[in-house]
Amino acid sequence: MPATTQRQGGGGYGKAWSTEDRLVAAQHLAAGLSAEDASRLSGIPGTTIREWRRDNAEFAALVRQMNDELVAEAIYALGAVSRKAVATLDAGMDGNAKPAQIRAADIVLSRLAPLREFELMRARLEQLEALAAGGQGGTW
């Protein structure tokens, strides 16, 4: 990504935005914020952020990569507490856990499986896309 990006029109008013500015905007978008919210937090006009997302493949890929990393972190965090969740459910079956603990354990475990399935499907899709593009996607 270039160190600065000259704004071509719209809300940027010709300002050159630094790579750091763009990273901040990308982080906000990856975290699920709207372009308007990212604009308010970063100081970059929403029209500029929307144009980057729409017209700049490198920026859009960066947002996707950052979002993928956030999802992976969530999966790892859920995985880290899953043993505790299983132990809590086990204790609950013996009457040794509070209802709130059992509910929290149930939520953790119910969220983990779909996220793992999603990650597996995404990896398979990436392999298929690589194969379709003539790459060596490997076997799965």
Residue range 62-95, pLDDT digits in tens: 999 999 899 889 888 888 999 999 999 999 999 9
The Cα–Cα gap between 18 and 37 comes to 19
Mean pLDDT of 17-26: 95
Strands 4-6 and 16-18, bridge-based pairing = antiparallel
Residue with tokens 């029209």, as numbered in its chain: 47
DSSP state of 33: -
In a domain, 138, yes or no: no
Asked if 33 and 87 sit in the same domain, the reply is no
Give pLDDT, residue 39: 96
In a domain, 137, yes or no: no
Asked if 46 and 82 sit in the same domain, the reply is no
* Contact by Cβ (8 Å): 29, 53: yes
Buried/exposed code over 46-71 (b: 16+ C-beta within 10 A; e: otherwise):
bebbbbbbeeeeebeebbeebbeeee
In a domain, 74, yes or no: yes
Asked if 72 and 35 sit in the same domain, the reply is no
Domain range for 96: 68-132
Prediction pTM value? 0.66
Asked if 90 and 126 sit in the same domain, the reply is yes
pLDDT over 90 at 140, yes or no:
no
Asked if 51 and 93 sit in the same domain, the reply is no
The Cα–Cα gap between 44 and 24 comes to 10
Mean pLDDT for all residues in the chain: 86
Domains: count for the chain: 2
In the numeric block, which tokens belong to residue 16?
A: 């050159």
Burial class (CB in 10 A: 0-12, 13-18, 19+), 83: exposed
